[in-house]
Structure 1
Amino acid sequence: MRINLLLYLMAVSISVSQPVTISGTVINDKGKPLVGANVFLEGTVLGAATDLSGYYIIERVPSDRFYKISARYIGHRMTTKDIATEEGKPITVDFELVMSLVDLDEVVVAASFSERKKRAQASPVTIISQDDLRRLPVRSIDEVLTGKVPGGYANLPSRPGQNNSAFTLRGGTSGSGRPLGDVKIYIDGVELLGFDMQSYPGIADFIDPDDIEKIEVLRGPMGSTLHGSNAQSGIIHIFTKKGSRSRKTVMKLKFARKITQAPILDDDAVGQETTFSMSGGNSSSASYNIGFNNSIDQEVMPGNGRDIERLKVHGSVNAKIGTAVIDVKTYHSWGQQGFISNLYHLLEYKEDRSWTNAPEHWDDSLASGGTSYYKPGFSLNITQSFTQDWYQSLVIGNDSKKFLYKKYYANSGQGYLTENWNRYTLNYFWHYKKKISNSFNIDLTTGTQRTMSNHVRLSGSMDERKDQYYYEDFDDVSIVDQSNQNSGYYGELVIDYKDRIYLTIGERVEQNEYFGKDYGTHYSPRLGLSYLSEIGGMIIKSRAAWGSGGINPPKAMQALPSESNYSINIGNPDLRPERQSGYELGGDFYFGDNFFVEVTYFDQLFLDGIANDPSIDDLQTIKQEYWYINLGQIINKGWELAAKTRVGPLDISANYSILDSRWGEDSLRQNDPVYEGFFDKGTRRNDVPSSTGNLSLVYNVPGFSPKSTKGGSVALDISYIGKKKGRDWLLYYDGQYNPDVSPFSYYSKDLLMHYKPFNSVRLRFNYWVTNKASVFLDIRNLTEHTDISRSIIEPALGKQVMMGIDFTI
């Protein structure tokens, strides 16, 4: 009996097939390795990404089976091959991917959290790939939107390394004055601190731009509704790089020198930057990526002698455990800078325009002291696959910032401010696909998202300088402690008919503590339809979408009663979130592999803008009484066009947008003579250009020697900002400080003017002198345009030159 059992177990062990290994390389049609290409076995959860040599390896593949293996890389046509595995025989499968602008099989996540091919998206998605970022790196959110995204617009920054908050998508929406409180920014699935919590959110203050793998931008409420409050104008999702599972450790080192024109100083401001990163792992299950970035920049305006200093550190670990993939990332940044006199350059205007009533402190506006910050954050992403068509995902993360402000004047009091912001994100969803017949497939994503945000602010004035202050040290202390929870449940169903027609139905149900207590639950629905057809050699994707989104009140606690030394907010329990809804129609046209055109028309209506209403004030009381109410409409309409093509070694991309942003109905401000018709229905809004455009030319330079096979590129990027209406700030200051000019009210029609269109030009060159070292030259604002349309005290930076060298070891 024992002998028979032993023979049985031996037979079973022999009959169990041993898994095999599949490996190979992925190159482009010019023979260059493609880094980060995805190779996967269709119908399974098995796959891998290529390393710096274009090499991949997939282990533990069941033997004695037939598979389809595919390789995919952004900007290239996906290739699929048939293979058969045999026990004990490793397989080598190499891929040569042909460059192609047909990106319908690109996987995006910005619209619905889960992975979904671009062909199923009913709203346009802009993908800024790793190759795009290598040719033209970005350093702030405004550079993401300016030129690269149709319908995007941003003012030029005014200080080195500044995160520019004055940018919009499709004209923006907020009637309360926030520049962009309605675009939500994610990094690796974690929601960042936005304009509802702090000013100037961006990417340069906490992440090294060289660490970005790709960026997805989704514009309009038609595709962003599942993301909830503060996403009604779009989504910006940043994905950072992961380490390679190659056993080879790769180190990268960059040294750069920066020169920025500072005409106010009649000199140049210089800076320097150093970057180091190291990545590696093993061939099967784990990888890592660590690095740091340090930069020092001189000020471009008169200051108190302190430079702008920043240090960023990041690290990530990615591991595959069974059917689960775990990705952990953390980032930390520190920064400090002194104070500048942003009034200094007004002294020239003071003399030329006879501003004899200008304040005396203009002549001596410098203060000692400075600001500093610490910004930590982390993300944990866990994705577990049950089958090839069913997986669940959990994202937990935090984005924080601690800010300290100390300012000392020689002849006046000392100012002190400290602020702490925190935002915690938890997002859980599962994604399921099923073939229900030969013609129909369904794709379902459903989940829940929680965000918890808090803001603590302490400010006041002191009589003496200290390293540490306590509550009793302040003469007029002010403390603000705000917190907010947002919870939502969402679901989206995509019905696919023969891989040609896609119907999208989605809904998010949300509650937010910033809403009025009697408002209740907010609903954000969406509908979408896309249809693929072929005419000759042309592929056409027709699409239509409708959606509605909301944004919580822009100032914390507006719905709740509050009281200050001078006024009383009686509260409004019915205060609704600002909302936007709209539709878009468009098409994507692919002419072979080398020509692509995208056309979109959008019509969006913004409702329930929030404003202060003092009409309820009781004149018999000492303090002014007011409340916040919903009012006002903004009508945003426009056209967006984008095109890409390749002509030999030259890559050409262009976009052009027509923006028509006007005030709609406004029950309060349109009846108030104080506003002098500023908000009249049909009046074009200030600071929104009538059109924007971009032309980008990239010439790919080949390598000329065996020691330099990588070559390089020369990129010319021209951004166009069309005519826009705004205030004549010089005339406004004339009225304030020139005794011969009558003062103007802030809303006077006599102040309105049209700023002329302008171009901003960027030129970048990089070349690998060896296969391990490259040099680069990057010139921004080559035309030296100085823009004062939004603020006379913050002119745009002049020409900026960066040059340096990159090493790969």
Structure 2
Amino acid sequence: MKRRSLTRGVTLRRAAVGATTGLILSVAPSALLHAAEPTCVARLASDDRSALWAPPLDRIVNVRLTDLPLRDALDRVAAIAKVELSYSNDLLPGDRRVCLALDRVPVGAVIESLLSGSTLRPIVLGSTQIVLAPTRERTVAVEHAVEHAVVPRRASVLDRVVVTGSPDGAPQRGSPFALDVVDGATLAQHGASTLGEALDLAVPGIWTWTASAGSVSARYGSIRGASSFGVTAPKIYLDGIEVANPLLVTQLDPSRVARVEVIRGPQGAALYGADAISGVVNILTRHDGTATGAPQLQLSTSAGVSATAYAPRNAFVQDHAISFRTGTPSRSMGVGLNVGTIGAYVPGASEQRLLADVDGRVARDKSVFTGTARLSLQRANASNGLFDPLGGPFGGAGANSTVGGGMALDMGQRHTSVAPPLAVGNNPPLDSMTHATGDSASGQRLMQYTVGGSASYMPDLHWTHSFIAGVDGFRLQGLSVSAVPSTMNGPQSSAIGGGESTGDRGTLRWRSVGRFDVAPQTLLTMTFAGEQSVTRELTTSTEAPLAQPLESNASLLGIARTPSGMISDLSWYGSTGLSAQGMVGWRDRLFASAGVRAERTTGATRNTQNALLPMLGLAYVEDLGGTVLKFRGAFGRGIRPARSLMRTSSWMGTGQLQAMTSLQPESQQGTEFGGDLLFGSRYGVHVTRFDQRASGLIQPVAQVQTTVGANGRMQRTMVYSLQNVGAITNRGWEVEGSARLQRLSLAGTLSLVDSRVARLARGYRGELREGDRMFDVPANTISLSASYLVGRFTLATSATRAADWVGYDRARIGSELNGTGAGGQSFEGGMLRNYWTQYEPLTRWRANVTYRLRGDLSIVTGGDNLLNVQRGAPDNATVTAGRTLTFGLRTIF
């Protein structure tokens, strides 16, 4: 049939690398298209395959498009490839219609063809999300590319848009510091249900200890070494909303998580301010729709048993989740609910948890609105004893029994329960050390919530404005005073649940980002930001009357004491931050970054504290065909106020909360240098060298004090004073690697850390000496993960290992105190060095097998802690769940 072209037609053109035939596109009048379909044929060379594209742009598709508007064509391609496209309609050519036929080509090649001649290019946002972002130059047309031998640079993993590393969400390509992105699909594949498991699996330099019985908190052993005593933790955000206490954020539903972005080290403090002393973690929940826009319901259920050597029977475990999602990328809504229980793998210590959340997103032509709400409930019943110091499980301890190596000093027929020396070091503040009579115990109860939203507005191609507002808080009951540096006397020595902590933090953040072409092939990005946070905290504890000297000191410190013995401390404090940053990118290769944040903290100390947090960075990226080579380096500084929700909800000593208000903030600064080598989307190697120095670290130092009790008898008690240690150096190497070989995916991380005392502060009276290693910081950690797809089976396994760390010999401490009644003098000051020990390596191994029965119905079997290690994480007094085997189903309606 004779064909003619119309002026309203558009010719789509594209250059193919090594193409044997050109891309033939034709446009016909709509009247003739109804009579006969035009011939749209394209053949791409075999080397133009998925290896040249970053996931999910590497998905192979077959496309047949006949005289469709460009917008409809993009939506059709997204549905075929099962990806989500986000773009502004204003940036699309309004009158373009396309005709395209391609067989077995990457979806990235199809999208690039459709966008030919426009200012848009695909940028990977997540595991299934792609943003069509404006560029400074139009896509190179076929004739121009062939004539000048120019091939457009393919999108690599470094082009994905990240939120944590850049305030407005920008390509990772120019980031000068190490940034890890873990997508929710990877977490679900390997069965990671806690934030600690996710970080151990995929992020080098961060190590978390497995939660013990009776604990609802995270346990960070190392984040590039030690940056604090008892409160080492990154600053954590949920969809950009800062959480009140990062130690309490443990639950994670992989099916509800889009990705987790992590900055290691203080370089992120210039963006995120106080408490980002050791790193930043941003958990981004899903805001996508469904492939067709129709409602989708996903169900999963599993149950099994957890082996244990410390209870008469194995513990029953179960986990059930349901989620509902509907909508498109421009308008979506989702709801999720997750419940689970873990039986008593030590007598009386069971755990229950519930996690519920809801999200929504509405995208307009120039604006995007998102909303998030989360509720987390956890209960961890405490045991009457984790283990007998001599090696066996407790059969039934009395009221003065200790758990987890806690100490009860017998002094003249009075029992004084005190914080064990092990709480002095870099151990988690919310440990499993509690007291109970019999097997019943109230344990710890935790409620967390997050509610907030964000709005982004892009008036033109130069500026983007965003606002984030939200509130995060927690209610923690049953904080055992024996787990923190405090003194407790008399009959209250057997009490548990004597402490409660409440915290709420409201955050309001504003950011404006401008992009300007200041010279040929030179792009300047300017970021201006402001943040205001207000924190309210209330900490209470029930204690017997103290000896007269301490009572008078408590009144001087302003601690409220009621006639019933209830001690409470209510405080408000706030933080204000203003920041400005600039990045210059030259020829999309050389990137220079500089910025500073002015931080003002009020209420945390008696005097207002001001700080400047600088950041400098440089990155160079070279594209060599399908290979990307990147060199980067950065410097940064971060602070953590002495008074913070993390610390005060952990160190509940009488007088300690107010004593913190006289201390200066802890700080850490340092540099990192590294390189990234990517071979297409199949292989990647990342190496980082870091050198950081932490100063002003605050340690509770134990001292023995003799007082006169209420009955007139002499009494020795262990008291704690907050002292500055001096300076700590954290140096080491981090290595990451990944490979994709058809159906096999491999990944691994390695971290080598040397964390030591560099200098002691004047007047320090603790046990640390210059050159000593910091407590509970593994010298080396490693993780390996693999997944393999064969037929209907998906096999996934991962292993993490920590080795060579120094900690307290808790078993020996508990044995001496409970068995021989050793005097408190032996645990004072330098005498504590006698109870240090070096622990053996610890390996955690898990595996999952998924079999797809039909459609979206799958059988899932899993195994956790397959080596059945229950002790030694991080000490010989903490007991964790043993080998756990589960069986379940998962389906989508």
Could you say whether these structures have the same fold, taking a TM-score greater than 0.5 normalized by the shorter chain as the test?
A: yes
Equivalent position of 1:280 in the other structure: 326
The answer to whether the 8 A contact 2:244-2:645 is kept is no
Equivalent position amino acid for 1:256 in 2: S
Equivalent position amino acid for 1:265 in 2: A
Equivalent position amino acid for 1:632 in 2: G
The answer to whether the 8 A contact 1:778-1:802 is kept is yes
The answer to whether the 8 A contact 1:669-1:679 is kept is no
Q: Map 1:23-422; keep pairs closer than 5 Å.
A: 31=60, 53-54=82-83, 61=92, 63-64=94-95, 67=118, 70-73=121-124, 74=126, 102-159=156-213, 162-174=216-228, 177-181=229-233, 183-194=234-245, 200-204=247-251, 208-244=253-289, 246-281=292-327, 283=328, 285-303=330-348, 307-346=350-389, 348-349=391-392, 364-369=437-442, 371-405=444-478, 417-422=499-504
Distance 2:393 2:84 in 1: 65
Equivalent position amino acid for 1:248 in 2: A
- Residue by residue, what CA displacement relative to the aligned partner does 1:153-184 show, whole Å, maximum 9, x if unpaired? 1212223995432332101211xx22414x10
Distance 1:481 1:790 in 2: 33
Q: Map 1:422-461; keep pairs closer than 5 Å.
A: 422-460=504-542
Distance 1:805 1:298 in 2: 21
Distance 1:722 1:763 in 2: 21
The answer to whether the 8 A contact 1:140-1:164 is kept is no
Equivalent position amino acid for 2:373 in 1: T
Equivalent position amino acid for 2:452 in 1: S
Give the alignment partner of residue 848 of structure 2, picking from 753, 758, 764: 764
Shift of 1:402: 2.4
1:253 to 1:220, Cα distance in 2 relative to 1, 3 A: same
Equivalent position of 1:497 in the other structure: 586
The answer to whether the 8 A contact 1:381-1:394 is kept is yes
Distance 1:507 1:47 in 2: 45
The answer to whether the 8 A contact 2:839-2:875 is kept is no
1:316 to 1:580, Cα distance in 2 relative to 1, 3 A: same
Equivalent position of 1:93 in the other structure: none
The answer to whether the 8 A contact 1:735-1:744 is kept is no
SS of the counterpart of 1:665? Answer: strand
Equivalent position of 2:800 in the other structure: 719
Equivalent position amino acid for 2:747 in 1: S
1:680 counterpart = 2:769: yes
Identity %: 20
Shift of 1:427: 0.7
The answer to whether the 8 A contact 1:447-1:491 is kept is yes
Shift of 1:392: 0.5
Shift of 1:453: 1.2
1:638 counterpart = 2:720: no
- Residue by residue, what CA displacement relative to the aligned partner does 1:393-434 show, whole Å, maximum 9, x if unpaired? 000111122234499x99987965543221111111111111
The answer to whether the 8 A contact 1:250-1:280 is kept is yes
Shift of 1:48: 12
Shift of 1:450: 1.3
> Going by fraction, where is helix more abundant, 1 or 2?
2
1:630 to 1:373, Cα distance in 2 relative to 1, 3 A: closer
1:796 counterpart = 2:880: yes
Equivalent position of 1:653 in the other structure: 747
Equivalent position of 2:864 in the other structure: 780
1:70 to 1:310, Cα distance in 2 relative to 1, 3 A: same
The answer to whether the 8 A contact 1:242-1:287 is kept is yes
Q: Which runs of 5+ in 2 are unaligned?
A: 1-54, 63-69, 97-116, 141-153, 396-404, 418-434, 481-490, 545-559, 708-716
Equivalent position of 1:594 in the other structure: 682
1:427 to 1:806, Cα distance in 2 relative to 1, 3 A: same
Distance 2:672 2:788 in 1: 34
1:47 to 1:325, Cα distance in 2 relative to 1, 3 A: farther
TM-score normalised by structure 2 residue count: 0.72
The answer to whether the 8 A contact 2:811-2:877 is kept is no
1:343 to 1:254, Cα distance in 2 relative to 1, 3 A: closer
The 10-residue stretch of structure 1 (431-440 or 248-257) with the greater mean CA deviation from structure 2: 431-440
Equivalent position of 1:14 in the other structure: none
SS of the counterpart of 1:142? Answer: helix
SS of the counterpart of 1:599? Answer: strand
Distance 1:452 1:375 in 2: 17
Equivalent position of 2:889 in the other structure: 805
Question: What RMSD in Å do the two structures reach over aligned CA positions?
Answer: 4.3
The answer to whether the 8 A contact 2:871-2:877 is kept is no
Shift of 1:750: 2.8
SS of the counterpart of 1:658? Answer: strand
Distance 1:173 1:369 in 2: 33
Distance 2:272 2:517 in 1: 27
Shift of 1:553: 0.4
Distance 2:733 2:624 in 1: 25
The answer to whether the 8 A contact 2:470-2:507 is kept is yes
Q: Map 1:550-569; keep pairs closer than 5 Å.
A: 550-554=639-643
Shift of 1:80: 8.8
SS of the counterpart of 1:689? Answer: coil
Distance 2:161 2:814 in 1: 52
Equivalent position amino acid for 2:467 in 1: L
SS of the counterpart of 1:119? Answer: helix
Shift of 1:365: 4.9
Distance 1:568 1:259 in 2: 42
Distance 1:507 1:411 in 2: 49
1:727 to 1:427, Cα distance in 2 relative to 1, 3 A: same
Distance 1:655 1:612 in 2: 34
- Residue by residue, what CA displacement relative to the aligned partner does 1:608-632 show, whole Å, maximum 9, x if unpaired? 22357999x9x9xxx9999866550
Distance 1:511 1:668 in 2: 28
1:591 to 1:478, Cα distance in 2 relative to 1, 3 A: same
Distance 2:379 2:278 in 1: 32
Q: Which runs of 5+ in 1 are unaligned?
A: 1-25, 34-40, 85-99, 463-470, 703-710
- Residue by residue, what CA displacement relative to the aligned partner does 1:570-625 show, whole Å, maximum 9, x if unpaired? 8876x43111110111111123442211111110011122357999x9x9xxx999
Distance 1:614 1:158 in 2: 25
1:549 to 1:134, Cα distance in 2 relative to 1, 3 A: same
1:101 to 1:163, Cα distance in 2 relative to 1, 3 A: farther
Distance 1:146 1:660 in 2: 18
1:542 counterpart = 2:573: no
Equivalent position of 1:8 in the other structure: none
The answer to whether the 8 A contact 2:602-2:609 is kept is no
Distance 1:28 1:764 in 2: 27
The answer to whether the 8 A contact 1:101-1:596 is kept is no
Aligned length: 717
1:610 counterpart = 2:698: yes
The answer to whether the 8 A contact 1:163-1:203 is kept is yes
The answer to whether the 8 A contact 2:320-2:340 is kept is yes
